[in-house]
Structure 1
Amino acid sequence: MANDTKTHPAVLRTCVVCVLGLFVIATCLPDLRRLWQPTGDAGFVSDFGGNVTETRPDGPANRAGLRPGARLDIAATDPQYRFLAIYGTTLSAGQELRFAVEQEGQVRHIVLITDPEPMDLATKLFIITRELAMLLFVGIGAALVLLRPSPATWGFYFYCLGLHGAPDVVAPLEFGSPWNHVVWSLQGMFINAGFIGVAVFGAFFLHDKPTGWRRYVLPLAGILVLSFAITQACVWPTLNAGRSVATVGNVALGIQAFMALIAMYGLIETYVV
């Protein structure tokens, strides 16, 4: 009975570690196809509010008359193009994008054909290097949790899962609606969890029995994970309703910065104070 009591948590822990790691691997490795089949580039960048912040000179968006300062009108865009309009990328070059924009006080519909993304030798080597680093990163994080489970190693593992740095552009494009939204939202959740993991690792590293402010980091992390899950689930319905998600995005960035500061303070206090 004693062995069974110890085995069940270990099996559950192994399953959780594997599922989390496999999701990250499954959403990152598809980007290797970009080495021989580049994605389609719409030639513009937009923020959380749907505001166009940048257009590539001579790119599809620029040729279609889209300029920085315009706002994507998702509510007036055909549903089949809404995700791609926000994403600004298609699975392959030559795909058509149709969306509505509000520019200079007028709403108009834009049609553009995506160009192949720039893909020189340096970019290819960069993609390969980042994917290999992701595999190493996730593997080390998983091994630490399995060999020595603790809040610190779990925090480090979530850091590895969310902030590995590997490209994960292709995965959401392989699915139609609503699954592309689901994959995109989960990717966002993992990034946010990575920042929370950094804070947990910083608070618990060399502090298996936390005291003082460190005792409150885990409850705070749980609250933030739930909050991020709720806000991430609301992003796409909000955009579909034609409303801006700029506030949600800015709050998320603020919390990410706060988590990073907690991690830095925890590590500095461990080694300096």
Structure 2
Amino acid sequence: MKEKLKGRSFLTLKDFSKEEIRYILDSAHELKADKKRGKTHQIFKGLSLAMIFEKPSTRTRCAFETSFGEEGGHPVFLSLNDIQLGKKESIEDTARVLGRMFDAIEFRGFDQKTVDTLAKYSGVPVFNGLTDLYHPTQILADLMTIEEQFGHLEGINFVYVGDGRNNMAHSLMIGCAKMGLNMTVICPDSLTPLKDVEEYSVNQAKKSGGSISITNSMTSGLKGADIIYTDVWVSMGEEEKSKDRVEL
């Protein structure tokens, strides 16, 4: 499995099978346990990571920077004030330049097409640290936390309350569906998940033994919940919609 995953980009959980996600989670549990024992493996010794941030972050930046650095790698933070991404240089050109200098790229920003383009033209693995459509690395951390608390994933009744068409809802649906959780999305009718994400997740849930449901009812949606997960009603870049979301 290790060789099968080597060199691949991590753009969306759609690209990974249940078995591959299982391997990643198992590896993460082992590395975390070793870290608590004061043991590191220097997995990334001699490697460098370009970290591109269009959007500010606390947890995502610190998680990538500390984990890569503690395992011997050299992370380099790049904000839009540091590079010409999509301005004087096209995304394709930026990808080619960074791909020659770095061993991998992490991107946190707005458009999913940007991270897809970086992966297509850089020639190195690219990791999605958040776009408006998906946030797959966060969901890996969430699934890991669920396992730490419950000891398993299959059959867990997971309820998400919030904006159903944001990156967290989409990636949670895909992750829960692939790993056999029963996920309920509670959201207003005007903020339901994208149809293609819903259809994909429902099909994946059928294969894993899980389920995906969407409702606007707090009463029925919360019934039997093992986990209640909430997120902001106004995502980054949508601040002008704050008043409308409060009224919902």
TM range (shorter): under 0.3
- Scaled by the length of structure 1, what TM-score is found? 0.26
- Scaled by the length of structure 2, what TM-score is found? 0.27
Normalized per residue, which structure has more helix? 1
Bigger relative contact order (CA 8 A; separation at least 6): 1
Normalized per residue, which structure has more strand? 2
